[in-house]
Structure 1
Amino acid sequence: MNSLLHVHLLSRKFDEMKEVFSRMEKYARPDTCTYNILINACCLNGHLDDAWNLFDEMQRRGLKPDSVTFGTSNALCMELKINEAFKLKEDMGMIYNVHATTFVYEVMIGGLCRIVIYNNLLSGLFKAGRQDEAFGVFEEMDSNGIQPDTTTYNVMINQFCEVKYFESAYRVLKEMPDKGCKPNVITFNMLIDMLCKDGKWSEANDDLFEGIPRQGCKPDVVSYRTLFDGLCGGLQLEKASFIFDEMIFKGYVPHSVSIHKFVSGLCQGEDIKLLLRVLNSLAKGNAIDEDTWLMVVSRVYQEDNHELSITSQLRDTLLL
């Protein structure tokens, strides 16, 4: 049966292969060789999802993949499914004790180079102000069968953010999942920065920053600093205070310029308790400097009825 399957594979008679395989299960148990032939057929026919399903099925049947099975990484890389290809390579060694051949590595490197070259070209053209050519390269990728990855879309989003094409940036963000690309934290950081610079702080905080975990990502130090800087620059002090608390808890130190704006804004307000709490957090995070300290002391002693307890809190903070 395997020989017959192989003959149909060479002739690319994929429908006949399905028929042979369905009959085969009635008379004989498929082995690793059987699945290798079928997986190869799926890859040749461009049905990579079916190839993965067959790979999973053979493992459920207790069949051990061999070096021929893992040669499917060739097709994966040609389709630029690089992450899947490297995961497959890792499984080869760690789970099945099968090691990749030189050819497999060459294919992986080739797949990586193709997408990296296009991404670098796109980025370079945008930086040079040659937008029309960059968009032409992006279209060329599709015509050449090269699927854009997350980095490709991030380059596009970054460009739209630079020129403040908000709708275009959001359109690319929404398009990514449809194209099989998952946005990463860099994607969201660029959009948050764009919105903050445009004064759209609520949208940056409520829609994007709060939505990052729902996209399977985690905000990083850049996410927090970008949003905090934007909120402080826009004197959105109440929202900034919540972000500030999270940053201190996670060990993320805000930029000194933003700290000064934040504390200065609080000094101009009426909430002395919040001001002292922020000062205490800054001291614990070793993020308070002399100018910030003097600013707070001056503000507290402007109160006509400053209480002894407030003075004590200032003293305790200084001693931290």
Structure 2
Amino acid sequence: MGTRQLELFVRERCRSGTLTVTEARHLFDWLLAIRDPAPTIYPFNHLFTTLVHMNNLTNHYPTIFSLFNQLTQTNQISPNVYTYNILINCCMRVDRIGLAFVLLGRALKEGPGSNPGVFNPLLKGLCKDSRIHEAAAIVLDKMPKLGCTPDLFSYNTLMNGICKMGQIDKAEELLDYMVSKGLQPDVVTYTTLIDGLCKKGLLDKATQILQCMISKGLEPNVVTYIALMNVLCKKGEIEKAEELLDFMVSKGVQPDIVTYSILIDGLCKKGLLDKANQMVQCMISEGLEPNIVTYSAVMDALCKKGEIGKPEELLDYMVSEGLEPNIVTYTTLIDGLCKKGLLDKATQILQCMITKGLEPNVVTYSALMDMLCKTGEIEKAEELLDFMVSKGVQPEIVTYTILIGGLRKKGLLDKAEQMLQCMISKGLEPNVVTYNALGCTVQTKRN
């Protein structure tokens, strides 16, 4: 097989999705043995990329760097920008940031380091680890000093990291800085900033940025609209969210499952179940199958309305459709059953949840404890607390408050006081609800 034929064969094997680490090593050695003519760097990059995206990267990443060292020792085939991009990305995925910096230094020494593609995976990893200060120093200082001009991906990566840290002022400053450097922000840049503003509840500012984006001829995408809809629904402005959906569709942007799920959840929280069901039907008519998040939102609304039979039917329907209910789904139903006083049914659902390998969380346990306290079974509630802790689930303020209220109602004031002290010793500060649960007698005793 000639050099060109072997390169094509390697590319096809990498694209097949069936390549193993052993076969990759064999193909690598075969490529390295060819001399007349020597292969290009591209088939090696194909092999590196495939190895990085295989399962259990932590186990086989040393193989990748062993192959890379063999490649560089030949002095016939030089790694390019993409080679270093792949390997630095590998370092970040296995949390070997020190090795990533070593590779960066080598790239700078050998030439490819002047390309931002070498820096970008490092920036992405730093931002993912919340090392924003280091990422900012690289983009704003080190790259320019090394003769490497940051590209749009570099700035967008940094923008995303800054917004995730909630440093919106700095994100806005970065946008202005980009423009001052002659770089035109794209849809990703603006959408990242809009999402950051929305998460901080700054809807007016987000809308201003949206208008600025549109004025520059950039069309918002589905992610942009989702960010705005999410904050509108959280604020309870469901009508505006629906208007935004209509506007989005009029602009030719098709809603996805996340868009519908946000709106359905918003409608459910407002108690507009009929509208939520209509939205579910609309979603299905568009060829989108409701997911766990969608159904869990509807289930929560049904439980809050006290229509407890319907959530159980919905759970059965979800399972029949091949959807696996998650902790949120089960906990929602358990909480609804407990609020209706159906402790036996709630316990059955709990057992079902555990048999499926799902561990109850603090909300699940708190719902059951609340029911036990309301029925006067305080001893069982205390046993459940001990069991919960033995399973590694830490009680929260709500958990302690439920138990304190239950103990007080049983006249066990000393035990309620002890529970309060236990709560404080765990670093949890009692709130107004906790003190209300304690009652005046115990508060007076504390004072």
TM-score by length of 2: 0.37
Structure with more relative contact order (C-alpha pairs < 8 Å, separation 6 or more): 1
